[in-house]
Structure 1
Amino acid sequence: PTIESVPPSVAEGGSVLLRIHNLPENLQSFVWFRGISVFWEHEIARYIVGSKSSITSPAHTGRETLNSDGSLVLHNVTQNDTGLYTLRIQSTDLKSEEAHVQLQVHTSHSANSSQLGIQLLPQYAAEGESVLLRVHKLPEDFQAFTWYRTVYDDPYFEIVKHNRVLNTTTWGAQYSRRETVYDNGTLQIKNITQKDAGMYTLAILKSDSKIEKVYLQFHVNKHVEQPFVRVTNEVVSSNRSAIFTCVSPDTDVSIRWFFNKQPLQLSRSMTLSPAKCGLRIHPVGLENVGEYQCEISNRVSLATSAPLWFE
């Protein structure tokens, strides 16, 4: 599983959703921790699927809400909430997995901060495109920096190491020939895929031999496929009804309806389903004759169905 912070950077005092993607089907429980350590004192809350019950834990501040889909909402965030969060998932076969996310909290003073940080450009990554992990405020006296493809600074997860003293750049086990590293620490990844989503760590070796680490996590958005409109008719109390369905394989999308090439204006005879993928007209009148289309979109793309003539 991967975790997406929505929004990627939240203003102090706001709320943020830590949304999970690709949860296993045989889920038994999930547990959220503050930080990278999965110790009891760092546990925020846990959810037991079988009993549909949630339990708060020592690191719960009263501002966290744990949802049944595993997502965690933090309300009224502060600078102290900045940092790593860990999700541990246990399946019914007693196997466990962990996923991490970095929570970014900004204030009105963040732009002028001297603190080391990483910014994802563009803010929302799209499959097949390039992303820039731009480093801000790299220490002027740094000796070396290393990029890792996880939260752990293990050589197996190393992407690249740059030694400023020796003026050398060494590519690691996670180098895929799509990466470019710059002297200021910034990392570019080209032609990204779903496998590139997740956590990245930048470790800085400073002149006093101390190591400073910063983290960045991103989710890779797929380009949506073209939907199509399906219509079924029925007769209710001698009145004709029509149900239009916007059919799409994509999830986490927004849906809009169009009538005769214009955004659909809902009348008293029209009802949209909660997800807006269904449109019901009852009763059908002459004013409803025409072309119907639906449009689906996510943060990086949109697609519109072919027109469907209805009469």
Structure 2
Amino acid sequence: MGSQSIESGPIPACELMPASILISWHPPTTADVTVETVPPEVVEGENVLLLINSLPKNIVALAWYKGVHNMSHVLALYSLKYDISVTGLAHSGRETMYRNGSLLIQNFTRKDNGFYTLRTINSRGEYVSKTTTHVQVYTTLWMCEHPSISGKLTVESVPPSVAEGASVMLLVHHLPPNLLGFSWYRGVFLSEVREVSRYTMPLNLSMRAPAHSGRETLYSNGSLLLQNVTWKDIGFYTLQTLTTDLKNEVLHVQLEVETSFSTCCNSLTSAPVMIERVPRNVAVGGSILLLVHNAPDLQTFSWYKSMEKIDKFKIAEYSRAMNSMTWGPEQTRRQKVYTNGSMLLQDVTEKDAGFYTLQTLSRDLKIEVTRVQLHVYKPVRNPFIQATSNIVAVQSSVVITCFSQDTGISVHWFFNNQTLQLTKSMKLSPTKCRLTIDPVRREDAGDYQCEASNPISSKKSMPLSLIVLAF
């Protein structure tokens, strides 16, 4: 296949592209040309192929343009008669046009973002078809599944806070495939007396352990169901996994129960020290109070920025007898510690996320250790929505993708400003950021939006209009 500049043009214009085509407008007579972007998600620096699946019959030439209406932005022309391509004024040196109409763009950059239009021409110089597609380059932050995170072993409480008497699932994601077994423990430390249940993969067998209350159900995917929750279940649960290469991983999840901190127990004397996050979730730059309940007679207490009581992680220590506050290595000017044991964190940063431990000594010399986990969130940014094609035929397929720069988000879909109700032909990817419709129906035409949200904020994308053609 040969290639040359359109400016030199040794081939007669009447044979390759009539001059009138470049300055006139002939409405397309068909719309049967489809463009597929390969890959569908283009990261900056990658090569992208605008793949043509079929071409109209009896055409003699094809032309790719950058944009939709501007006829001067010609990227490349192709003469089927002479089997030769000619570059246009908008050609950057990175575009290659093929006989089947496909266009390869190498080293795609942000400047390449936008619409691309393919037109086919017959021997009379008339446009036979016009097909436009939009290509958007993404930095590595603009992703759908977020591969660096999607494969990581995680545990979440579903729901995040459970009412007394209800059930909660400690849901495990991405359990390792080469697993020998796993165990659940009550609390943050691994000990035989605190073990709730264990599962052995080779035997496909689950076993109860000493800390099992009769209300827990263990599943082979690692998840633990706790039924008829009470205030006594408040606290941390720990998952330990062991793989065939003898590597183990330990994860903690905090179980929160919706209960009154002052009336959760039979009597005030039996009430354990509890820590309430006010508000429950905090954004970067905000403030959060770690409010201590059921500790009216504290003689001393200490705060640590860690799971364990280690001096190098100490924030502060208070003595009522000395009426003094001693600050530790983890103290910052953004912390305020009160004599009732509560601690205020101001101008919170992402580094403040993690575990905090409070050790208290009461007047009757009772020592208690209470832990709380702090999550810090950034406000989400507007997601971006894109379809493999905005114009599709009935019985064809389309993939609509929701791209976000944020991790740890939930994705929700809307159709014509209402929550999307999935049909039998619709399928969502595991993280719900990709919607596949196959086959497309007439009723699927309309405006689609996706919403990215985390516990402190949510943002919607601009609407995408899907046009469904019935032939």
Q: Into which bin does the TM-score normalised by the smaller protein fall? A: 0.7 to 0.9
Residue of structure 2 aligned with 1:117, choices 244, 252, 274? 274
User: Is 2:382 the partner of 1:211?
Assistant: no
Report matched runs for 1:216-231 at 5 Å.
216-231=372-387
Q: Any idea what SS the aligned residue of 1:143 has?
A: strand
The AA in structure 2 aligned to 1:137 is: N
Per the TM alignment, residue 277 of structure 1 is displaced from its structure 2 partner at its CA by 3.7
The 1:54–1:304 alpha-carbon spacing in structure 2 relative to 1, beyond 3 Å, is farther
Q: List per-residue Cα deviations over 1:103-161 (Å, max 9, x = no partner).
A: 44455785476333211111233344322101123223x22211122342232332211
Aligned to 1:44: 196
Which structure has the greater CA radius of gyration? 2
User: Is 2:280 the partner of 1:129?
Assistant: no
The 1:301–1:139 alpha-carbon spacing in structure 2 relative to 1, beyond 3 Å, is same
The 1:157–1:130 alpha-carbon spacing in structure 2 relative to 1, beyond 3 Å, is same
Residue of structure 1 aligned with 2:208, choices 54, 57, 64? 57
Partners of 1:276 and 1:216 in 2: how far apart? 31
Residue of structure 2 aligned with 1:170, choices 323, 326, 350? 326
Partners of 2:345 and 2:465 in 1: how far apart? 44
Moved more, 200-209 or 95-104: 95-104
Per the TM alignment, residue 100 of structure 1 is displaced from its structure 2 partner at its CA by 3.8
Partners of 1:292 and 1:157 in 2: how far apart? 49
Contact 1:125 1:131 survives alignment (8 Å): yes
Contact 2:413 2:420 survives alignment (8 Å): no
Report matched runs for 1:11-22 at 5 Å.
11-19=163-171
Partners of 1:243 and 1:195 in 2: how far apart? 38
Contact 1:239 1:283 survives alignment (8 Å): yes
Q: List per-residue Cα deviations over 1:70-110 (Å, max 9, x = no partner).
A: 44321112344344433334456544444444544455785
Aligned to 1:189: 345
Residue of structure 2 aligned with 1:257, choices 395, 408, 414? 414
Aligned to 2:186: 34
Relative contact order (alpha carbons < 8 A, sep ≥ 6): 1 or 2 greater?
1
Give the alignment's TM-score, normalised by structure 2: 0.54
Contact 1:45 1:54 survives alignment (8 Å): no
The AA in structure 2 aligned to 1:211 is: I
The AA in structure 2 aligned to 1:253 is: S
Partners of 1:223 and 1:76 in 2: how far apart? 35
The AA in structure 2 aligned to 1:119 is: E
Per the TM alignment, residue 302 of structure 1 is displaced from its structure 2 partner at its CA by 0.9
The 1:67–1:252 alpha-carbon spacing in structure 2 relative to 1, beyond 3 Å, is farther
Partners of 2:239 and 2:250 in 1: how far apart? 6
User: Is 2:228 the partner of 1:72?
Assistant: no
Per the TM alignment, residue 33 of structure 1 is displaced from its structure 2 partner at its CA by 1.2
Per the TM alignment, residue 31 of structure 1 is displaced from its structure 2 partner at its CA by 2.0
Contact 2:296 2:340 survives alignment (8 Å): no
Any unmatched runs of 5+ in structure 2? 1-152
Q: Comparing both structures, which one devotes a greater share of its residues to strand? A: 1
Q: List per-residue Cα deviations over 1:29-81 (Å, max 9, x = no partner).
A: 432112344233432223456x5945223233442233455443211123443
Partners of 2:156 and 2:378 in 1: how far apart? 14
The 1:184–1:294 alpha-carbon spacing in structure 2 relative to 1, beyond 3 Å, is same
The 1:43–1:239 alpha-carbon spacing in structure 2 relative to 1, beyond 3 Å, is closer
Contact 2:185 2:237 survives alignment (8 Å): yes
Give the alignment's TM-score, normalised by structure 1: 0.77
User: Is 2:299 the partner of 1:299?
Assistant: no
Aligned to 2:106: none
The 1:206–1:84 alpha-carbon spacing in structure 2 relative to 1, beyond 3 Å, is same
Please, what is the CA RMSD of the aligned residues? 3.8
The 1:193–1:88 alpha-carbon spacing in structure 2 relative to 1, beyond 3 Å, is farther
Aligned to 2:16: none
- Aligned pair count reads 305
The share of aligned pairs that are identical, in percent, is: 41
Contact 1:100 1:199 survives alignment (8 Å): no
Contact 1:269 1:282 survives alignment (8 Å): no
The 1:124–1:48 alpha-carbon spacing in structure 2 relative to 1, beyond 3 Å, is farther
Q: Any idea what SS the aligned residue of 1:175 has?
A: coil
Contact 2:262 2:294 survives alignment (8 Å): no
The AA in structure 2 aligned to 1:273 is: L
Aligned to 2:240: 88
The AA in structure 2 aligned to 1:56 is: M
Moved more, 190-199 or 158-167: 190-199
The AA in structure 2 aligned to 1:246 is: C
The 1:200–1:307 alpha-carbon spacing in structure 2 relative to 1, beyond 3 Å, is same
Q: Any idea what SS the aligned residue of 2:388 has?
A: strand
Q: Any idea what SS the aligned residue of 1:60 has?
A: coil
